[in-house]
Structure 1
Amino acid sequence: MKQINIYLLFVLIAFSFNVELLSSDTTIIYPAPGEEIRYEGYTVRINGQEAPVYRARVSAYPLNQRWPGHQRPKYQTEFAGFCSWDMNGPVTIEVIPHHAETIDQVVVRPQSNGIVPKIKKGTIIFSMKEPSQITVEVNGMHHALHLFGNPMEEPQPDPEDPNVLYFGPGVYDIGKMDLTANQTVYIAGGAVVYGAFEARDAPNLTIRGRGILDGSRIERLDSMVKENSKVPFGTMALYGCHNARIEGITFRDANLYVLMPVACNNMSITNIKQIGMWRYNTDGIHLKNCQDMTIDQCFLRNFDDCLVVNAYASHRGYDCGELPTRNITATRCVIWNDWNTAIRIGVVCHTRMIENIKFQNCDIIHASRIALNIENHGHAMIKNVLFEDIRIEMNDGSSENQYQMRKNQVYSYSNKKHVPQLCFIDIKKSPYTMTNDYGRIKNVVFKDIMVLGDRPPKSIFKGHDSEHMVKNVFFKNLRFGDQLITDLESGQFEILEFVKNVKIK
């Protein structure tokens, strides 16, 4: 720790003399470290000031492999760009795409923001009225630009405070760092921290800033999933940490789950951004056995489930017992799902109760296999779930999930009519099941769900038996474009056995 603090002191002194923030009355732009490789596909200006465009490796198509001893190869990826700044008023954004010879089409997502860009002499111009997280997609979804407009930051913590781990502008390689109670981790704008954080039974943590936490130097191994593995399980794993706050930072290229709270309560996760997830199982925000959690205004692009709520018996030696999962609220999130599901409850449900779960005012700008998912492969009662004001863009870029079965297999685009499922709800046993009992699902409400796309998506519901059923699923104001869905047939619903009382109005 002393070595890190001494190094930080030199970085801070150097920064104060040699680096100047690009700021105005409405914006703050943080310079990138000189060692950081920029993405050359775009030039971005915010209110006339050039902002650094960082590089992130993302999945090029949904082809996956899970062979022992093999990891997903980089040839299945591509580079994308992202940049981040702070703002307290409307800004004008200019984007010059260098990766495209011509600008044939530009889409700014979420489309619910109503941003219609202008194109003038090879420059894309539009306004952002308030802090937002958007993508600019030129001639399709590949090599996209991700723009993160943050609210103005609160005052920075004191670097001399013994409870503060202060990462000023610059590049750091921390490996795996264990946190203790009452600590604040601050990653400043212009800082890139390579490594991972873990904490166990450490209350009152704060992890915040405008910098980047990067997991690309942590290897992904088959042995990582074992209980006794010493390899970091993703970029941030928090076990039994209560009264925690995570805000503002950008996560890039995790080796496994990006942010995983286990058996935590009273935690807020606000304005985090996740980009550059291309390795398998890079779930976004993955909550296990947690209570009283709020997730607000986050951007999640992941190569596996983006927003997950479930329950385990134990994880990495941390005993969760039968701790319930309850009182989880996620709002104002933007989700780009490159593999599997966008929002999921399950699959592992090792607890008696998962209840009071809300997803509200969120945009799914790209879906892969399933948009909204509840899978009970345990013995839990899952009840009182609300999906409200969810907008789902089922665009032409959606591609079918495929598993790579042989080494030289390439991705097949043969299924041109692939549409991700809207909803999938089921109860069954699987390799993730930890008990002999089955669970139940009841009281699920889908309200104000808007689907944009040329082809309507399907939904499938299935229970297990007469004692373990899916009950009381209600849809209110479900729309496919301009069409209000008023019956199961026009909504493309497939209601299988042991499902009771599904209604649409």
Structure 2
Amino acid sequence: MKPNKLLTIATLLWLCVQSIGAQNQLVTYPSPEGAELKNDFTVKVRQPGKEWQTIDTYAVKVDEVRGASHHVELASMGYFDFAGEVEISVLSNKGDIQTGRVRPLSYEITPQINGNILTFKLDRPRNLSIEVNGDIFHNLHLFANPIDPNNPLKPGMNPKKLKKDRNLIYFGPGIHQLPGDTLNVPSGKTVYVAGGAVVRGCIRAFNVRDAKILGRGIVHPQERGEGIHIGNSRNISVEGLITTQCPTGGSDSVTIRNVKAISSYGWGDGMNVFASNNVLFDGVFCRNSDDCTTVYATRKGYTGGCRNITMQNSTLWADVAHPIFIGLHGNVEYPDTIENLNYLNIDILDHREMQVDYQGCLAINAGDNNLIRNVRFENIRIENFRQGQLVNLRIFFNKKYCKAPGRGIENILFKDITYTGKNAELSLIAGYDQERKVKNIRFENLRINGTVISDDMPGKPGWYKTGDMARFSIGEHVEGVTFTK
């Protein structure tokens, strides 16, 4: 064989080995000294046939409401990065596992259980809740991330070299206390919080352009409050981090990807949008002690309406209030419009709210003279939540939070929505008066416990409203509600 042909074969073999290596990777991050850990579980991960690696589990606070009282409970949280396939072992240090589940249930991950060990495989990144013996308040939040393409520290690189990059603010593994509990990110800069890092305080992008807040670590104030906050800024990216809350106000062109927000205190909303345009949430996980995600108009010093807001490929868990909430706040004197919103491919794991005024997994409540129009809910899977409603569309005057009722709710599409459960209360659709109506509401392939709700569904008496078959109350000042297959 000619030498050049041998060289070509050797090059191809090398490229194949490199490709296989790139497709099968596993990166774990030891916790920093001084971090608060939890030992309910011993978690390990490995590539098939290789050595097990231990995943440290942090203590995370979640909110359990018992009656009308709030109780902070300590759950567990761990994370790692991978490409290819991994095997995961979760050992319950509290004793045998009678039942175990991995959620979202739509992922169809059926764990194997042997005594006090639960095992399963992953072939793609997932943000998961692992629940043993039905306990959702001492569960394991396991965030299996993709390999991080943004990590500035390359294999073999001396971390000191990163200090020479004037456009990079780097937090390596360890615990970091921000001076004054706040870091204000300058325009054009990238903040990177490495895996194994805990930043105590709030990272803010205020009045800046072209800034990034990236990484795999944790950003958490010492007490309550936002870990990441975007205000009056443009072209901002946030990716990969674990935090408490991540609001966006008065901003344009914001992308929040694979960010996890867990809160346990009052008014602990996950990912608010105030008076902003062109905001994308992709692959986020929210478990919050108030609304998981909201879109409001004028609010908290930010003025104007909202346009072009999308949340997709995400998981929402509301220990209190709404998973998705739109429209409450605005400007009564100079009315705002909230329009062109999309909620696509979302799993809702829980919704628990006793107050009827604040129920609804998919809720649009128009107040403060807001007009809300052109909203799309599509491919949303709602699991058996504890208490609340599936849908709440209302124009109302909530005097606790509003100065006037909303102007209208128009052109809302619910497509491929599924609910599997038994705890849904009566959903509400209601306008306010002849000038303030709910109009043009379409349900396409709404499935409740496997039954498609449609205007021509079998078994529906001719004198029933179709909403009756879904336990939806369709009230006055509502026009154009349709249910189709």
Q: TM-score, normalization: structure 2?
A: 0.84
- Residue of structure 1 in register with 2:41 after alignment: 42
CA distance in 2, matches of 1:272, 1:456: 29
Aligned-pair CA distance for 1:63: 5.6
Which has the larger displacement, 420-429 or 298-307? 420-429
SS at match of 1:354: strand
Map 1:314-393; keep pairs closer than 5 Å: 314-315=299-300, 318=301, 320-321=302-303, 323-350=304-331, 351-369=335-353, 370-393=360-383
Aligned-pair CA distance for 1:108: 1.0
- Residue of structure 2 in register with 1:133 after alignment: 127
Picking from 210, 213, 225, the partner of 1:204 is 210
Aligned-pair CA distance for 1:177: 2.0
SS at match of 2:106: helix
Decide whether the 8 Å contact of 2:204 with 2:229 is kept in 1: yes
What count of residue pairs does the alignment treat as equivalent? 426
- Residue of structure 2 in register with 1:480 after alignment: 448
Aligned-pair CA distance for 1:121: 3.3
CA distance in 2, matches of 1:310, 1:285: 11
- Residue of structure 1 in register with 2:9 after alignment: none
Residue 417 of structure 2 aligns to which amino acid in structure 1? Answer: I
Picking from 176, 185, 197, the partner of 1:179 is 185
CA distance in 2, matches of 1:432, 1:377: 11
Decide whether the 8 Å contact of 2:414 with 2:442 is kept in 1: yes
- Residue of structure 2 in register with 1:500 after alignment: 479
SS at match of 1:333: strand
Decide whether the 8 Å contact of 1:62 with 1:339 is kept in 2: no
- Residue of structure 2 in register with 1:288 after alignment: 274
Decide whether the 8 Å contact of 2:97 with 2:117 is kept in 1: no
- Residue of structure 1 in register with 2:422 after alignment: 454
- Residue of structure 2 in register with 1:27 after alignment: 26
Any gaps of 5 or more consecutive residues in structure 2? Answer: 1-21, 47-51, 153-161, 354-359, 455-465
If you compute each CA radius of gyration, which structure gives the higher value, 1 or 2?
A: 2
Decide whether the 8 Å contact of 1:177 with 1:197 is kept in 2: yes
Aligned-pair CA distance for 1:349: 3.0
Deviation string 1:327-369 (CA, Å, 9 cap, x unpaired) is 1111011111100100111211334211000000000011123
Deviation string 1:182-241 (CA, Å, 9 cap, x unpaired) is 1211100000001012232111110000000012x13x5xxxxxxxxxxxx522222111
Deviation string 1:159-198 (CA, Å, 9 cap, x unpaired) is 4222221100000111122222112111000000010122
Higher RCO (Cα < 8 Å, 6 or more apart): 1
* 1:84 paired to 2:79: yes
Which has the larger displacement, 329-338 or 148-157? 148-157
Deviation string 1:275-320 (CA, Å, 9 cap, x unpaired) is 2x110111001000111111100110000000111111x52xx4x3
Map 1:152-231; keep pairs closer than 5 Å: 152-157=147-152, 158-174=162-178, 175-215=181-221, 217-218=222-223
CA distance in 2, matches of 1:112, 1:155: 29
Q: Which aligned runs of 4 or more in structure 1 are off by greater than 6 angstroms?
A: none
Decide whether the 8 Å contact of 2:346 with 2:380 is kept in 1: yes
- Residue of structure 2 in register with 1:414 after alignment: none
Residue 326 of structure 1 aligns to which amino acid in structure 2? Answer: R
- Residue of structure 2 in register with 1:229 after alignment: none
The share of aligned pairs that are identical, in percent, is 31
Deviation string 1:117-150 (CA, Å, 9 cap, x unpaired) is 1112321011112001111111112301111011
Q: TM-score, normalization: structure 1?
A: 0.81
CA distance in 2, matches of 1:198, 1:50: 33
Aligned-pair CA distance for 1:58: 1.1
CA distance in 2, matches of 1:186, 1:291: 25
Picking from 110, 122, 126, the partner of 2:116 is 122
SS at match of 1:237: strand
Change (3 A) 1:117 1:437: closer
Decide whether the 8 Å contact of 1:377 with 1:432 is kept in 2: no
* 1:246 paired to 2:238: yes
CA distance in 2, matches of 1:449, 1:239: 33
Change (3 A) 1:376 1:172: same
Decide whether the 8 Å contact of 1:469 with 1:500 is kept in 2: yes
- Residue of structure 2 in register with 1:442 after alignment: 410
CA distance in 2, matches of 1:122, 1:33: 27
- Residue of structure 1 in register with 2:89 after alignment: 94
Residue 483 of structure 2 aligns to which amino acid in structure 1? Answer: I
- Residue of structure 1 in register with 2:226 after alignment: 234
SS at match of 1:489: helix
SS at match of 1:348: coil
Decide whether the 8 Å contact of 2:31 with 2:56 is kept in 1: yes
CA distance in 2, matches of 1:328, 1:87: 30
State the superposition RMSD in angstroms.
Answer: 1.9
CA distance in 1, matches of 2:406, 2:309: 23
Aligned-pair CA distance for 1:96: 0.5
Residue 129 of structure 2 aligns to which amino acid in structure 1? Answer: T
Decide whether the 8 Å contact of 2:327 with 2:338 is kept in 1: no
CA distance in 2, matches of 1:494, 1:184: 49
Map 1:371-450; keep pairs closer than 5 Å: 371-395=361-385, 398=386, 419-431=387-399, 436=404, 438-450=406-418
Decide whether the 8 Å contact of 2:307 with 2:338 is kept in 1: yes
Decide whether the 8 Å contact of 1:245 with 1:267 is kept in 2: yes
- Residue of structure 1 in register with 2:437 after alignment: 469
Aligned-pair CA distance for 1:155: 4.2
CA distance in 2, matches of 1:34, 1:464: 57
- Residue of structure 2 in register with 1:59 after alignment: 63
CA distance in 1, matches of 2:420, 2:183: 43
Change (3 A) 1:303 1:455: closer
Change (3 A) 1:57 1:438: closer
SS at match of 1:379: coil
Aligned-pair CA distance for 1:64: 5.6
